[in-house]
């Protein structure tokens, strides 16, 4: 059944370049539901030998709030959990092009609907969001659904597991390049959720914004990984990355 766009999206926002759709357009086609394979392991799988571990389940010593103060989220049983109203957190470490692994779980107790259900986000370089949301039997505007490049591109599939189950993002990130104030290369990202491809080398229009068009502004080639406090009790564990070095960059 086609969802009622007036309930899940907007029609008073700008048209996204190269499309016929508004930012957060509820009339944009919904991604097809694809059921992943067996549920994720009860315990996280060990990272590769060359991975740089950002969260191993023990503490938040490698994380700060957005002002540089101590990260105030809860850590227990090998995961961190959002503490609402304490703010988003980010890594002390700054990095650029990478293979990133993040495991997350929406609350098992279902509350709310659309964007008000298990909402968080993985912000690459603190600027470019891969949406975290509980979209298991939960409609929202397609460019804000689970795995969307928020406000820009819906995922190719809705591959959500049930609320409370662990979900796995594997992300290949290639950040933008600037020469002074000029954009030399846009950002590209590949995203898999639970082994299902959501985006394949998708070009981003710029950093993430809500209800407005995105435009690039020059910034360094490295930045922190940010996890969003959107008021929901989302959990994260087993976060690591592997740096990528392009052959043509020396």
Instruction: Tell me the CA end-to-end span of the chain in Å, nearest whole number.
Output: 52
For residue 28, the cross-strand partners are none
Q: Are strands 167-174 and 177-179 parallel, antiparallel or unpaired?
A: unpaired
pLDDT attached to residue 3: 47
* Percent of residues, the chain, with pLDDT higher than 70: 96
The three-state DSSP-derived secondary structure of 183-249 is: EEECCEEEEEECCEEEEEEEECCCCCCCCCCCCCCCCCCCECCEECCCCCCCEEEEEEEEECCCHHH
Determine whether 51 is exposed, middle or buried from the number of CB atoms within 10 Å of its CB (0-12, 13-18, 19+): middle
CA–CA separation, 184 vs 203, rounded Å?
A: 13
For residue 243, the cross-strand partners are 98
Determine whether 20 is exposed, middle or buried from the number of CB atoms within 10 Å of its CB (0-12, 13-18, 19+): exposed
Q: At 7, is the secondary structure helix, strand, or coil?
A: helix
Residue ranges of domains in the chain: 5-35+50-249
Are 55 and 80 in contact, with CB atoms under 8 Å apart? yes
Residue 133 has pLDDT above 50, yes or no: yes
CATH code: domain 5-35+50-249 is 2.60.120.560
Are 178 and 219 in contact, with CB atoms under 8 Å apart? yes
pLDDT attached to residue 4: 53
Q: At 4, is the secondary structure helix, strand, or coil?
A: coil
pLDDT of 22-40, one tens digit each? 999 999 999 999 999 887 7
- pLDDT mean across residues, the chain: 93
Sequence-distant (6+) residues with CB within 8 A of 53 are: 47, 239, 240
pLDDT attached to residue 250: 41
CA–CA separation, 151 vs 87, rounded Å?
A: 21
Task: Enter the DSSP assignment of 60.
Answer: -
Largest Cα–Cα separation, the chain:
52
Torsion angle, alpha carbons of 96, 99, 105, 106, to 10 = 50
pLDDT attached to residue 248: 47
* Residues making up the chain, counted from first to last: 250
pLDDT of 190-235, one tens digit each? 999 999 999 999 999 999 999 999 999 999 999 999 999 999 999 9
Are 22 and 16 in contact, with CB atoms under 8 Å apart? yes
Name the residue among 199, 232, 122, 127 with its Cα closest to residue 167: 122
Are 52 and 211 in contact, with CB atoms under 8 Å apart? no
């Amino acid at each position: 059944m086609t969802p009622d766009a007036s309930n899940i999206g907007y029609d008073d926002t700008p048209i996204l370049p190269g499309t016929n759709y508004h930012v957060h357009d509820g009339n944009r086609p919904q991604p097809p539901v694809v059921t992943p394979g067996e549920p994720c392991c009860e315990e996280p799988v060990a990272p590769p030998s060359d991975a740089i571990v950002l969260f191993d389940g023990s503490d938040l010593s490698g994380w700060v709030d957005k002002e540089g103060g101590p990260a105030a989220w809860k850590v227990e049983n090998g995961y961190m959990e959002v503490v609402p109203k304490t703010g988003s957190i980010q890594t002390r470490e700054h990095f650029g092009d990478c293979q990133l692994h993040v495991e997350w779980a929406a609350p098992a107790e279902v509350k709310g609907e659309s964007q008000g259900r298990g909402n968080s986000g993985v912000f690459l370089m603190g600027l470019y969001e891969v949406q975290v949301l509980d979209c298991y039997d939960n409609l929202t505007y397609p460019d804000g659904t689970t795995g969307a490049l928020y406000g820009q591109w819906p995922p190719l599939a809705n591959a959500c597991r049930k609320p409370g189950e662990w979900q796995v993002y594997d992300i290949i990130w290639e950040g933008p390049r600037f020469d002074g104030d000029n954009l030399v290369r846009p950002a590209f990202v590949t995203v898999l959720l639970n082994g299902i491809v959501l985006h394949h080398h998708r070009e981003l229009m710029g950093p993430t914004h809500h209800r407005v068009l995105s435009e690039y502004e020059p910034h360094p080639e490295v930045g922190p990984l940010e996890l969003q406090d959107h008021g929901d009790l989302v959990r994260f564990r087993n976060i690591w990355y592997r740096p990528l070095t392009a052959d043509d960059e020396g």
